[in-house]
Chains A and B, each alone.
Chain A
Amino acid sequence: MIAIVDYDAGNIESVSNALRRLGAEFELTADPERIIAAEKVILPGVGNDAEAVASLRAKGLEPVIKGLRRPVLGICVGMQIMCRDSEEGNAIGLGIFDAHVKKFIPTEDSKVPHMGWNTIANLDGKLFKGMKGGQHVYFVHSYYASLCPDTIATCRHAGVMFSAALKYENFYGTQFHPEKSGDVGEQILANFLAL
């Protein structure tokens, strides 16, 4: 059973549908016991980093998530809240990934939010098994996680190279939305489910 953490941070329907397409069994839950018992945990997220992390803490889930020893995948804001800190609402994150979350500054030819299909490179590890760099995935975000030793995929926008995906021990995060990234995204989710 896969637990999708239900902490009022949106995007739950899209992730649920992606798991249905892959034929995976899952439940939406904020119950610490169910989350700890799950084989895999997905932390979705759309919206504001500071609000998302506050909501997670209000449900008493910070120590639960940090204590997990089975594979965990944070998506978009779900990944950002696992970083050290964020310029969005000056949030203090869970500190699992060694990255800082910063705001994009728009440039002449780069719009913010970074929205649409962009390529990922420097892919590393089992999450990207069987995949080559240069493939497009779908992003929607105004803040990005800096490069750090936990970076396992990179992307470029608005003059910066940032972390498109992160990994620390059993914790994974993607800035992009695998559930909206066509067949490439489906492969990444299938790779996570196979960990």
Chain B
Amino acid sequence: MVAKRIIPCLDVKDGVVVKGINFEGLKEVGDAVDMGVKYSRDGADELVYLDISATQEGRNTFVDLVGRIALGINIPFTVGGGIHSLDDASRLLDAGADKISINSAAIANPDLIGQIAGKYGNQFVVVAIDAKMVDGVWRATTHGGKRMTDVELFSWAREAQERGAGEILFTSMDHDGTRNGYACEAYAQLSDILSIPVIASGGAGSIDHIVDVLNEGKADAALAASIFHYGQIPIPELKQALSARGINVRL
């Protein structure tokens, strides 16, 4: 049986890992390669690096950084942020990324999914969806949650799969940053309608939350950021706890 995955997510701005603190701005939390090496040694199954640089210079720095990450770590990693074309994806593949994730650009141009998957395989393409519940309907947002769209989560996830996505990374904007648990019902529903893996993101605050999203939420992987960055839940302890609760993880 394929093990359930634990995935630390690192936001990168101009080459360093940052974390937003209560909307007051970004705080530097560490070096992207050093943190990746530490997480892989601790037993992370995969890493996600998201480029949140706003400038072309920042994005160029990120491509160089991806090359250093690929040299430094010995587990798979996904990179996202600022990928709008097949060329953008190719540059990151050449730098050594195992997968890319596309979000706003896939909503603006759904053909992009098939273009990248057609060239590099479905396993290379993660479609990320940031959604919010509005009047009982999960609606996708773009630009980091700032813009609401008419796109409905479940139909979009299914379309992304049909177009060649290898995985769906769904972040509930209603849960993200709350540390009150994941949107388990939505993940269970996604997992039921899709045949590709589902990565859950947004709301992790405790080991129980991760147990819930992997069990009741039927997610294939749980992604989190701050609980790992600040050492609140060390990965070795988390993995042992999941295993003790009967969840199939890599120890």
Interface residue ranges, A against B (CB under 8 Å) = 10, 13-14, 17-18, 20-21, 46-47, 106, 109-118, 136, 138-140, 156-157, 179-183, 185-186
> B250 contacts the other chain (Cβ, under 8 Å)?
yes
Q: Are B74 and A185 interface neighbours, CB within 8 A?
A: yes
Given A113-B122, A118-B3, CB of A136 within 8 Å of CB of B250:
yes
Chain B 86-101 residues near chain A, CB threshold 8 A = 94-96, 98
Given A46-B121, A113-B122, A117-B45, verify A20-B71 contact (CB < 8 Å). Answer: yes
Tell whether B195 is near chain A: CB-to-CB under 8 Å.
yes
| In the complex, the 3 A-B pairs of residues with the closest C-beta atoms, listed nearest first | A136-B250, A116-B2, A117-B3
Chain A proximity of B106: nearest CB distance (Å): 20
Interface string of B92-134 (1 = CB under 8 A from A): 0011101000000000000000000000111100000000000
Residues from chain A with Cβ under 8 Å of B45 in the complex:
116-117
A139's closest neighbor in chain B, by CB? B2
> Most chain-A Cβ atoms within 10 A of its Cβ — which of B121, B195, B250?
B250
Q: How many A-B residue pairs have CB under 8 A?
A: 71
Residues of A within 8 A of B197 (CB): 111, 115-116
CA distance A110 to B248 in the complex (A): 14
Residues of B within 8 A of A109 (CB): 1
Residues of A within 8 Å of B3, CB to CB, are 116-118, 136
Main secondary structure of the interface of B (DSSP, over half): loop
Would you mind naming 17 contact pairs between A and B with Cβ atoms under 8 Å apart? A10-B120, A13-B70, A13-B95, A14-B98, A17-B70, A21-B74, A46-B121, A111-B2, A112-B195, A113-B123, A116-B197, A117-B2, A118-B1, A157-B1, A180-B76, A181-B74, A181-B75
Q: Please determine whether A113 and B166 come into contact, CB atoms closer than 8 angstroms.
A: yes
Which of B2, B71, B96, B197: most chain A CB closer than 10 A? B2
Q: Residue on A with the closest CB to B250?
A: A136
- Check if B5 is an interface residue, CB within 8 A of chain A: yes
Query: How many angstroms from the CA of A182 to the CA of B5 in the assembled complex?
Result: 14
- Is B196 engaged at the interface, CB distance under 8 Å to the other chain? yes
Chain B residues, CB < 8 A from A47: 121
Measured between beta carbons, the chain A residues less than 8 angstroms from B71 are 17, 20-21
Chain B interface residue count, Cβ-Cβ cutoff 8 angstroms:
25
B11 within 8 A of A: no
Residues of B within 8 A of A10 (CB): 120
B51-93 interface (Cβ within 8 A of A) = 70-71, 74-76
Residues of B within 8 A of A115 (CB): 2, 123, 166, 197
Bitwise, B213-251 to A at CB < 8 A (1) or not (0) is 000000010000000000000000000000000000010
Q: A153 to chain B: closest CB distance in Å?
A: 16
Taking CB atoms, residues of chain A closer than 8 Å to B141 are: none
Q: Hey, which chain A residues are within 8 Å of B2, CB to CB?
A: 110-111, 114-118, 139, 157
* Interchain CB contact under 8 A, B166 and A138: no
* CB of B40 closer than 8 Å to a CB of A: yes
Please give, as numbers and ranges, the residues of chain B lying within 8 Å of A183 by CB-CB distance. 74
Q: A138 to B123, alpha carbons, bound, how many Å?
A: 13
Complex: A186 Cα to B41 Cα, angstroms: 12
User: CA A181 – CA B76 in complex, angstroms?
Assistant: 8
